[in-house]
């Protein structure tokens, strides 16, 4: 099972694909030490802010299970704000516990480690001009 981790820090985001069982059983809102994810993240501390499963259903922090459930929602999480006032819809949501069905995990950086994120991910978040120069030119 490969997880796509999206790590955000002050307006920048880094992506990594990881095959690890260290995140199984964690919940949305849990704090994780970076060394559990990968040795490059030594000293970092992350908070899980959200998940998405293989079918695209979002994880909801109020559901304490890894299963799919249907929940009656009003305005807020999972609902558009432009909906008429008082509208309630039943939506399918994934629980907050990370299982094998989860594909994407969103995280925030709480504490920085020894290496900077730019050193760990040298090919991500470059200025657009540099990316264009590196692209191969078709003749």
What pLDDT, on a 0 to 100 scale, did the predictor assign at position 42? 87
Predicted local confidence at residue 133, as pLDDT: 61
- Structure confidence by residue, pLDDT tens digits, 94-132: 888 998 889 999 999 998 888 888 788 877 777 766 555
| Rounded Cα–Cα distance for residues 117 and 7 (Å) | 10
pLDDT digit string (tens) for 60-77?
888 888 888 898 888 777
CA distances from residue 94 to 16, 17, 22, 138 in whole angstroms, order as listed: 22, 21, 20, 44
């Amino acid at each position: 099972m490969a997880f796509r981790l999206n790590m955000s820090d002050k307006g920048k985001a880094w992506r990594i694909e990881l095959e690890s069982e260290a995140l199984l059983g964690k919940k949305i809102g849990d704090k994780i030490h970076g060394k559990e994810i990968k040795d490059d993240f030594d000293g970092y501390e992350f908070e899980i802010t959200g998940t998405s499963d293989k079918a695209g259903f979002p994880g909801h922090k109020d559901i304490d299970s890894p299963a799919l459930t249907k929940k009656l929602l009003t305005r807020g999480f999972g609902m558009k704000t432009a909906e008429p006032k008082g509208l309630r819809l039943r939506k399918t949501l994934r629980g907050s516990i990370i299982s094998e069905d989860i594909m994407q995990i969103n995280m925030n950086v709480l504490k920085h480690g020894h290496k900077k994120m730019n050193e760990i991910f040298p090919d991500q978040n470059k200025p657009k001009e540099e990316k264009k120069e590196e692209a191969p030119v078709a003749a």
